Structure 1
């Protein structure tokens, strides 16, 4: 009877989560689909889809998005995996500081990265002018495909670093010692032992990077110029200043859903081939980085971080310069901060209220979903797992459009409220914490939980008292990623916000678009300060003060 009671508790939780997804995800997406089939004359048909595919320009935007996302993902893996490996296997000088800056590289909105790279390497950028004046060298343009890819890589490699480093913490050092005793060391051990053991986390990171690059519209909007991507087309079709066709925009959004869902299903199929349990009773022992090898390791780690973080530092520097129109003068001033502060009365409190509430809900939801998916693997819970990932692989602008269409009229009116912003963030950004929680729980043997139950603990108590503390590394690592993406969210927020619910990221985007670069730089610096404080706070809260958990 006792077992049945616990089964009913988890079944109730499972059904509750399904109902939440039904209301806040399935209903909006079904509304979007219904709108996509409505024609201008009120009829029903596929004319909106035909209109999209009839234009070669639209097909080109899809190709551009795939090209940028694929190249950015490959380069990000090449950069992030060695960085995570060196960080976990070797004692690097200034390791904790380096770790903080790696994460800070990914804690700004992508469009801010694009803006900062333009300041450095645009047509009149600092580096561009330096090379031109000193060496007479004309650097390649930062605009277009090359610029988008650079910004995405420098913005997203921390995701790979976080996932790979967290996975390495679950590798038992005795496996590495045994392989070394058998003559397998160096690159051979890395490729034949370490990489296969970390495969689930690498695959998860690959999907996260690819879909975030695919869904980003702020970066190509600022730095793409003639290289238009699919998310930009989605946004333009819904927010056109000349009057948008909501039914055509819905059709474009549905096409995006189909494309991203196919990519997600392919990833799930691959990931199903790499599911296993792993627990590190003897964590990896870091070795001193000495000799030429140590120099190269230090050089690689610091060079990556310097290149990635330098644009943000330059934005901070320009925030203290006087401005005249769109130009920065060679005089220091805090006027940009004075002007910026006038417009931040609501933005900063809103950012913390919306982001903080969203993160709390995401952590609770993620723990429940992880347990249901891993420990109670049935059809309903598999459905929850699939549903939890769908909003992430869908571009944020599509999520925003679907929520506007669904909740702009009775019975549920949320448009213009804080609630719709929170719903969008929870539904869209919970996948970071869910995937991280599932990945870590899959590596915790069920036998540990069964041992606690055999000693008299209930199943619920065994999970929360024994299993969940062992999951804390994955939960907090995923929560950090969720926080980063929430606080810098733009693509859904730009569609859902109004003057009462505006956030700091949206304000920055607004002033960059207007050409008020001084105010935008000051706001971006404030955002960087906020994210840095939240990161340090999370480090202090964690038991071992280690962000990688």
Structure 2
């Protein structure tokens, strides 16, 4: 037994080290980046022999004077710089401290260094009406302590001090600038309202399905489960195509209205979230001890009072867990706001823009926004735990709840409500399927039927299909192995320190928004010796770490139902400890393992928020291809629709197999 303990402890320590490297270290890089601040940046425009300050993108520097041909700026630490345009294409640069030209500059940029600065100056040339710009000339010359710069007469000059130091300025800027505060406010509004409306749809429907026996009840549960694995950004595009300013339905009905805006984002996200709340609430309502309700009714309580005082409090953990999962999905949703409303400031989109935008982006601000998102996500989790803390919701029952036969009125209410909800949830699926067989011209759908979308898909994009399937399969295999093993350590071994720390580290990625998680991976694995950014491996690692909680928790829940006496019996008969684990424990955990593996695979295939930052060609997964062909102006959405249909087939086949497996096990 001692050898078993030592073996599992060694395995636990290795997993703990891996969790620290893949969970804590990337987030630590984000924290370090958030507290770093460069010296500031601004952009000047040279035109008609004059220089003018372009305020967009200016940070830390404040203009002192701006006259024709001369611009002077200063930052709080006293460093100042003056640009004086002596004639078109020739500018003199003077600074408050001597600057030295670094040799080896290239065509459109050069570097200057000083005691407290490390400056990069870049030129962007303005094209004339014929598309000509001349040679991209940028020639700096040292003139004493000044720099004489020869550049294109019509150009933009970007000045950026890249020397970094630790400061709280990024947090002050993020929490005071109106743009960032607007993004925080909008994110909270979208999260709270979409979760609230999703619960108003999902919780009553879950109660009706859990309480009553009616025709097509199993089909209703299966359809709602299928809706939960739909790629989220597809619904956004379809609803915009139907209800946009020039949408198919708005034009057909003559409506002067558009879904574009915050209201549209909330509407689309509601139909993405309600399956999560429904499934969690359904399990809770189905597990209610029927004797509690019967006792309340026998003591004279009305059905309504019994519902609010007995059933709802008993089901509160499941409902709140569903609401928390839905809130996190809404809070971290990147694709829906990006497609429905490009002008809506929201945290995931703002962090993405700040991190990748090459004309004014700021990785430190992106890291700061990531920490703000992580803090908000943690507060949501703390609120859920606070509501449930110190309360007991357990009951002891010897029998399952018997489903009631609904009255005629209740039956039609169930059919009408469930039918409407399912129809709205599957509207994007139906529209995408139809449009995948229609021809698109200049970004507009026609009524011409065609198979060219599928021909192009199978001719040009099978590599993306392979990338999605291979990364999802690899992540699923890793999650299955480590999820079951770590679940065994947590439930059976219960090491006083290692088990809870390992459990916390493995579950941490669940509360980290995908965009934040991806930025941490890029910062941590973007240099030797672990240069993984843009490779197949970083996608697998990302999916594995982010989806591992699904495999862990399903395995853990199954393991709690397996009595340790089964293992003790095998050990007493002389079986080796590892053989006991592989031959007794793993087969008995198979049901939960299949569920966890399915969830990992489905979510890996549809993942976008982290994928959009991590992938690089040729490792382009299906979700990125669909997203690109959805948001690009004039793109062929029929092509994206064909790939989306293929993705749905890939998703629904394993889901159908798991559903059939569950049904056979329950019989």
Aligned position for 2:18 = 20
Match of 1:412 among 530, 535, 548: 530
Aligned position for 2:563 = 449
Change (3 A) 1:307 1:175: same
1:126 aligns with 2:240: no
1:107-155 Cα distance to aligned partner (Å, 9 max, x none): 12211110111122112223222322xxxx54x5312221111111101
Q: TM-score under structure 1 normalisation?
A: 0.88
1:108 aligns with 2:215: no
1:539 aligns with 2:659: yes
Change (3 A) 1:450 1:432: closer
1: CA distance between counterparts of 2:290 and 2:588?
18
Query: In 2, are the aligned partners of 1:200 and 1:439 still within 8 Å (CA)?
Result: no
Aligned position for 2:505 = 387
Q: How does 1:27-66 map to 2 (within 5 A)?
A: 27-40=25-38, 41-66=163-188
2: CA distance between counterparts of 1:236 and 1:270?
36
Rg larger for:
2
2: CA distance between counterparts of 1:363 and 1:275?
32
1: CA distance between counterparts of 2:440 and 2:392?
55
1:158 aligns with 2:275: yes
User: Which structure: greater helix fraction?
Assistant: 1
Aligned Cα RMSD in Å?
3.0
1:367 aligns with 2:489: no
2: CA distance between counterparts of 1:196 and 1:436?
24
Q: Deviation at 1:38?
A: 2.6
Match of 1:11 among 9, 12, 35: 9
User: Which structure: greater strand fraction?
Assistant: 2
Change (3 A) 1:280 1:151: farther
1: CA distance between counterparts of 2:388 and 2:550?
16
Change (3 A) 1:379 1:261: farther
Q: How does 1:144-155 map to 2 (within 5 A)?
A: 144-155=261-272
1:207 aligns with 2:324: yes
Q: How does 1:5-404 map to 2 (within 5 A)?
A: 5-40=3-38, 41-132=163-254, 137-138=255-256, 140-183=257-300, 186-242=303-359, 244-274=361-391, 281-373=398-490, 376=494, 378-404=496-522
Query: In 2, are the aligned partners of 1:289 and 1:295 still within 8 Å (CA)?
Result: no
Change (3 A) 1:425 1:24: same
Query: In 2, are the aligned partners of 1:32 and 1:402 still within 8 Å (CA)?
Result: yes
| Structure 2 unaligned blocks of 5 or more | 39-162
1: CA distance between counterparts of 2:345 and 2:611?
21
Q: Deviation at 1:237?
A: 0.5
Change (3 A) 1:31 1:522: same
1:271-323 Cα distance to aligned partner (Å, 9 max, x none): 44456666765333223334111111121111110111112211211111121
1:213-237 Cα distance to aligned partner (Å, 9 max, x none): 1011110011123322100000001
Change (3 A) 1:495 1:454: closer
Aligned position for 2:127 = none
Pick which of 415-424 and 59-68 moved more.
Answer: 415-424
Change (3 A) 1:476 1:177: farther
1: CA distance between counterparts of 2:170 and 2:331?
23
Change (3 A) 1:167 1:479: farther
Aligned position for 2:96 = none
Pick which of 489-498 and 282-291 moved more.
Answer: 282-291
| Structure 1 unaligned blocks of 5 or more | none
2: CA distance between counterparts of 1:481 and 1:161?
16
1:33-61 Cα distance to aligned partner (Å, 9 max, x none): 22223332232222333332331110110
Paired residue secondary structure (2:447): strand
Aligned position for 1:516 = 636
Aligned position for 2:46 = none
Aligned position for 1:493 = 611
Q: Deviation at 1:189?
A: 3.4
1:422-474 Cα distance to aligned partner (Å, 9 max, x none): 111122223344445556767x5xxx726657867679999888887887666
User: Across the two proteins, how many residue pairs are aligned to each other?
Assistant: 536
Paired residue secondary structure (2:462): coil
Pick which of 268-277 and 317-326 moved more.
Answer: 268-277
